[in-house]
Amino acid sequence: MSAKSTELEIASKLLEIGAIKLKPQEPFTWASGWKSPIYCDNRLSLSFPEIRTFIKNELAKAIKSNYPEVECIAGVATAGIPQGALVAEELGLPFIYVRSKPKGHGMENMIEGKVTPGQKVVVIEDLVSTGGSSLKASDDLIAAGFKVLGMAAIFTYGFDLAKQNFESKNVRLVCLSNYSAMIEKALEIGYIKQNEVDTLKDWRQDPANWG
């Protein structure tokens, strides 16, 4: 399957199960306060075994192809944990996960699992928006002594800000699907109308001020 075919197939499956919802005329409000015509919750894919397996296999293939030196998989809490564990199992690799903040008791760990300085790790995310939380996890892994090869995610909105953030940290990002492919597939299956496409594209250009 080509990269473009994978992008469209993943988008199709996420739309099919309602993991991606589009409401250009009745926008969602994100925690940041941004108005958005899209809401994406890829955790829903975990409840659909066939789709869960497809995503696991495609992430594993993408990692083997783009990061052949990988020695460990790291999930980003919380949504990246189950996806990362599935991929680590598929690849036969160690798995760890990165908390958003240190555990408040016991060892007060930021990273759960065996910390092996120098180990080459790929970070797993379910969704990339601005990249802030993903890149913080990468920083935490580097601080613990890991060598971060890059990141793999199911879906990205493709914001310019995210691209700039990843470039500034020199972290490579590979995504199975993206906003452009999702619009193409949503139009093809009749989920959206042609006159809604421009509205959806306008949002990605300036999400903070859209709507």
Per-residue pLDDT of 29-61, as tens digits, reads 988 888 999 999 999 999 999 999 999 999 999
pTM for the model stands at 0.94
125 a known binding residue?
A: yes
DSSP-assigned letters across all residues of 32-91? TS-EESEEE-GGGGGG-HHHHHHHHHHHHHHHHHH-TT--EEEEETTTHHHHHHHHHHHH
106 a known binding residue?
A: no
126 a known binding residue?
A: yes
187 a known binding residue?
A: no
133 a known binding residue?
A: yes
99 a known binding residue?
A: yes
64 a known binding residue?
A: no
129 a known binding residue?
A: yes
Per-residue pLDDT of 67-91, as tens digits, reads 999 999 999 999 999 999 999 999 9
